[in-house]
Amino acid sequence: MKQVFFFAIIAALVWACGNSSGTDAASGSNAGQDRNGAETVAVVEKADGEALYKTYCVTCHGLYGDMGASGAYNLQESKLSLEERIAVITNGRKAMTAFESLLDKKEIKAVAKYTMKLSEE
């Protein structure tokens, strides 16, 4: 009896989590229909600089950019321009690794823009 109940719970969870409508809210895509009733998908992609920073940079620079672990520069005091920050993130500097193989150009620019905000706080 316990096995049947457990199976029913698992089946209900699988059914509830299934996505038969064709939309994928987690990926940010929106489904619609064209004039002929065919399903169309519009994907909106926007790099989130803050989320990327928290994923890749917070370990050395800290949440507020001032941690300085492993010789990381204090981003609150940095005077680098946006272009210089993009170059450093892309190519690395001293102990900092290059991120050009991990992030695309839009993501690198988003992170660089976010780091500019750290000195404003």
CATH of the domain at 103: 1.10.760.10
For the chain, what is the domain count?
1
pLDDT at residue 92 greater than cutoff 90: yes
As to burial, measured by CB atoms within 10 angstroms (0-12 exposed, 13-18 middle, 19+ buried), residue 111 is buried
Mean pLDDT of the chain: 79
Q: Could you tell me if residue 92 is inside a domain?
A: yes
Q: Could you tell me if residue 7 is inside a domain?
A: no
pTM of the model: 0.62
More confident residue, 34 or 115: 115
Cα–chain center distance at 50: 8
Expressed as residue numbers, the domain containing 70 is 49-118
Q: Could you tell me if residue 31 is inside a domain?
A: no
Q: Could you tell me if residue 83 is inside a domain?
A: yes
Q: Could you tell me if residue 28 is inside a domain?
A: no
